[in-house]
Structure 1
Amino acid sequence: MVWVTASSIRIAMNKLSRKLFVQIALILVVVFGLSYCVNTFFMPNYFVHQKRAALTEAVERLRSIESKQLLEEVQRVADDYHFTIVHTPYDHDIDRLNWTLREQFTRERIAMSKFWLTEESLAQLMRGGIVTKSYQQEKLKSSVFVTFVMKEGMILAVGESVANSGETIRIVNQFNLIIAVGALSLALLLAAWFSRRTVKPIEQLKNMAEDIAERRYRTVDIRTGDEIEELAHSINTMSDKLKQAHLELEEKNRNLRVLIRDISHELKTPLAVIKAYSAGVKDGLDDGTYMDVIQSQTDDMSELVTKLLEWSRLQTEELNIENVHVVNLLEQVIAKYELPLQQHSIELTLNDQNAESFCVQADRVKLEMVLNNLVSNAMKYTTNRKIQIDLTNKDDALVLFIRNGCTFSMTEEQLKQLWEPFFVAESSRNKQLSGTGLGLAIVKGILQKHKAAYGVRLHTGDIEFHIALPLCKQGEQM
């Protein structure tokens, strides 16, 4: 037997357990109250009704028996219904008639201190009616139900003695009260058990939620085989995702701080140059090149601001999807860089492999921004003065590869971060090795909106970027 002390129950009875106990207790109290009211106010009347109905049924059976067989069938009816049946010939002396019937009941072990059949009742019997009476025997603490009927000059009395219903109901109510007290005790133990088995995991989840609110991300191992375990699994998943999102946010904040530092550097340097050369112009020191320098620095600042605006607009702008001939668009982009390519002696090779007959579904303006960024990056960072662009068809997609020479090395993690906003390969901001970190972020954002695949890799002294765009549907080729 397991003994539960009052102190241990109080410890286990937390808020949920107390609430459960109170609800069970209220249900038990309501059930006991209804049972008490039914037993006290409705049961006696129902009991009397059932007894009267049974007595009436037995009497009707006696009335249906033929006169010759009446006395022979009386005992059989008494045995079938478990009643006591006495009979006596009709006597005009009502006192003698009552005494005779009472004596017969006494011989059948139904003692009655009070018994009488009135003249009115005899008159009703003479008319063929049925008379039912209840005789309270206070000293014996019982009642006798008797139904009278007259048949062929014979008065038949069908009776049954029952214990006083008030006493019986009191005993039943006492028994119900004992059951209710026992049920309340059981409810207290069940509430304590429920607390140990069910509320404990909920308490763990509550503490975990409080830790998550304080940004202390962790998981719990709860195995209950029910919805609580599923809830724990969901919260664990949420905690992991929040932790990952928090780490990503911290990384973006770090990159943002780097970007602000870099933008400050990018703007501070040309502003200082512009200020110095402006002062030289003012002092009459201009040798004819000062304004060109000021113009060049202004162009650099304008380009930086344009990149920032492009990246900002990309977050909210919707795509205008249409069929785009990639080769034609790529040739237009390359044509814009023809003079810089010649000036820097950069060799650009385009291999389309019959891709000129295919088109892709894309936003033309956004796709042109992607191609511009990839080509300008290749021109800016190529170390062998060579750029190679390849186009091929693969799995209902047009894949573009753009490769240029690259002498510095990067880890796989750094290659992935090239696509992230504000990331730069070289923190020194060497113009020959890195930019502001926005160009490829713009490319990534556009490609993600197109649900297009993209990637980058280093191999044999080259860096290669690739993108894959869905081809136009059959019959929509340009």
Structure 2
Amino acid sequence: MLKNPTPQQIAQIVALYITVSSLLVWGVLEGVRARFELTWMFTLALLGIALFASAYLITIFYLRKYIYRKIKLIYKTIHKHKVSPQEKNKNIDVRENIIDEVEKQVAEWAEQQQEELDKYKAWAEYRRNFVGDISHELKTPIFNIQGYLHTLLDGALEDPNVNTTFLKKAAKNLERLHIIVEDLEAISRLESGELMLEIQSFDIHALAAEVFEDLEFKAKQRNITLEFKDGASQGFKVQADRESIRQVLTNLVSNSIKYGEENGRTRIGFYDMDGNILIEVADNGLGIPKKHLNHVFDRFYRVDKSRSRERGGSGLGLSIVKHIIEAHKQTINVRSTPGLGSTFGFTLKKGS
């Protein structure tokens, strides 16, 4: 017996059994009388052929009908598009192992359903966390503003020793709210693909120098030196959206100043990688523990939450940086060791 017969083979076996059984019975009954005459043997052969053909056609007809009904029920479950009966029936090739093919399609469907379910669960968890993170981030400045304003309205407005201080603190918290909303809007544009990149060729060294100049005052407040690494003093042409990359460099350098050690340094280096240029922003600050490295680009993720909120920011900066680099179809990574500092590196296509 065949291990996995096709419908055609099943029909042939059934027809053969019917034919042989019928001919044996008829032959026993008629053989003795006919004494193996030539005409009798010819009739026996013709009858055998006719029986085999009839049995085969009838069997294959009912097999096709049975298989069609079963496959139709399966297709109703696993197919999202409608298929006409003619197409379904046409798809039944009796020469193929239909059961194996259907099992394969069902297995693929089940795997796809599981992938979609896992993806849905991941997105549901992501949305829950995101909503929770937004609520938490917005709650602190709103609560602070509310407290300052109510204190002023309750009489402190007339007290010259506190009124200006409270108003400044309320204004500072409003600025933080504004930053969070702007960064959320930027994330939304990046994820929806609304950000249109204006790709052009420009000197990445010149852009980095502009960023250093913009952040020079901020660096001096913490006595942090901004400089280029050895071999990075010459120009390197890249193809990218200049303003988006300015935002990336500004964020990375600003973070290195904000969270780096006082009296430290922030250095930018460039490395030729044939078709790409690797840009690295390195500091000699506190560094990031290993358990946090896989999450530094997540929304609202903070290595040191108390210090991060104290020094401002929305917690979305590195997430925006990652989205911008990925919009350029490039990669960004981080290397860090506590006590030695951190290095953020990203690639851009080489310009001409």
| 1:300 partner amino acid | R
**Corresponding position of 2:168:** 292
Q: Alignment RMSD, CA only?
A: 4.4
| 2:119 partner amino acid | A
Question: Structure 1 CA distance, aligned partners of 2:218 and 2:154?
Answer: 30
Question: Structure 1 CA distance, aligned partners of 2:120 and 2:187?
Answer: 23
Is the 1:387–1:402 Cα contact (8 Å) retained in structure 2?
no
Deviation at 1:394, TM superposition (A): 2.7
SS at 1:419 equivalent: coil
Matched, 1:275 2:149: yes
SS at 2:112 equivalent: helix
Is the 1:447–1:453 Cα contact (8 Å) retained in structure 2?
yes
Cα offsets for 1:109-137 (capped at 9, x unmatched) = xxxxxxxxxxxxxxxxxxxxxxxxxxxxx
Structure number with greater Rg is 1
1:258 to 129, 132, 136: 132
**Corresponding position of 2:178:** 302
Structure 1 residues 260, 401: CA separation in 2 closer, same or farther (over 3 Å shift)? same
TM-score normalised over the length of structure 1 = 0.51
**Corresponding position of 2:60:** 187
**Corresponding position of 1:376:** 254
**Corresponding position of 2:349:** 470
**Corresponding position of 2:333:** 455
Matched, 1:409 2:285: no
Cα offsets for 1:360-403 (capped at 9, x unmatched) = 11111111111111112212222455243232223232222222
Structure 1 residues 228, 362: CA separation in 2 closer, same or farther (over 3 Å shift)? same
Deviation at 1:456, TM superposition (A): 1.0
In structure 1, list runs of 5 or more residues that go unmatched.
Answer: 2-16, 22-173, 211-222, 474-478
**Corresponding position of 1:391:** 269
In structure 2, list runs of 5 or more residues that go unmatched.
Answer: 2-6, 12-46, 81-96
| 1:441 partner amino acid | S
Structure 1 residues 289, 456: CA separation in 2 closer, same or farther (over 3 Å shift)? same
Q: Trace 1:95-244 onto structure 2 (pairs within 5 A).
A: 182-183=55-56, 185-187=58-60, 190-191=63-64, 195=67, 227-228=101-102, 231-232=105-106, 234-235=108-109, 238-239=112-113, 241-244=115-118
Cα offsets for 1:270-298 (capped at 9, x unmatched) = 32244145426764113253433333233
| 1:392 partner amino acid | F
Question: Structure 1 CA distance, aligned partners of 2:169 and 2:113?
Answer: 54
Question: Structure 1 CA distance, aligned partners of 2:258 and 2:130?
Answer: 24
Structure 1 residues 283, 434: CA separation in 2 closer, same or farther (over 3 Å shift)? closer
| 2:214 partner amino acid | K
2:212 to 320, 334, 358: 334
Deviation at 1:307, TM superposition (A): 1.7
**Corresponding position of 1:171:** none
| 2:345 partner amino acid | H
Is the 1:311–1:442 Cα contact (8 Å) retained in structure 2?
yes
Question: Structure 2 CA distance, aligned partners of 1:448 and 1:276?
Answer: 45
**Corresponding position of 2:4:** none
Structure 1 residues 269, 350: CA separation in 2 closer, same or farther (over 3 Å shift)? farther
SS at 1:286 equivalent: coil
SS at 2:334 equivalent: strand
Deviation at 1:176, TM superposition (A): 11
TM-score normalised over the length of structure 2 = 0.66
| 1:469 partner amino acid | L
Structure 1 residues 176, 354: CA separation in 2 closer, same or farther (over 3 Å shift)? closer
Is the 1:274–1:297 Cα contact (8 Å) retained in structure 2?
no
SS at 2:346 equivalent: strand
Question: Structure 2 CA distance, aligned partners of 1:307 and 1:263?
Answer: 12
Question: Structure 1 CA distance, aligned partners of 2:133 and 2:145?
Answer: 18
| 1:455 partner amino acid | N
Question: Structure 2 CA distance, aligned partners of 1:433 and 1:246?
Answer: 36
Structure 1 residues 423, 204: CA separation in 2 closer, same or farther (over 3 Å shift)? farther
SS at 2:234 equivalent: helix
| 1:406 partner amino acid | L
Higher relative CO (Cα under 8 Å, sequence separation at least 6) belongs to: 2
Question: Structure 1 CA distance, aligned partners of 2:350 and 2:111?
Answer: 37
Aligned residues: 291
Question: Structure 2 CA distance, aligned partners of 1:347 and 1:435?
Answer: 22
SS at 1:431 equivalent: helix
Question: Structure 2 CA distance, aligned partners of 1:291 and 1:271?
Answer: 9
Question: Structure 1 CA distance, aligned partners of 2:177 and 2:141?
Answer: 6
Is the 1:418–1:437 Cα contact (8 Å) retained in structure 2?
no
Question: Structure 1 CA distance, aligned partners of 2:261 and 2:139?
Answer: 25
Question: Structure 1 CA distance, aligned partners of 2:147 and 2:118?
Answer: 43
Question: Structure 2 CA distance, aligned partners of 1:377 and 1:188?
Answer: 74
Question: Structure 2 CA distance, aligned partners of 1:245 and 1:323?
Answer: 38
Identity of aligned residues (%): 23
| 2:179 partner amino acid | E
Judging by fraction of residues, say which structure has more helix. 2
1:353 to 228, 231, 249: 231
Structure 1 residues 358, 204: CA separation in 2 closer, same or farther (over 3 Å shift)? same
Deviation at 1:255, TM superposition (A): 2.6
SS at 2:246 equivalent: helix
Deviation at 1:258, TM superposition (A): 2.5
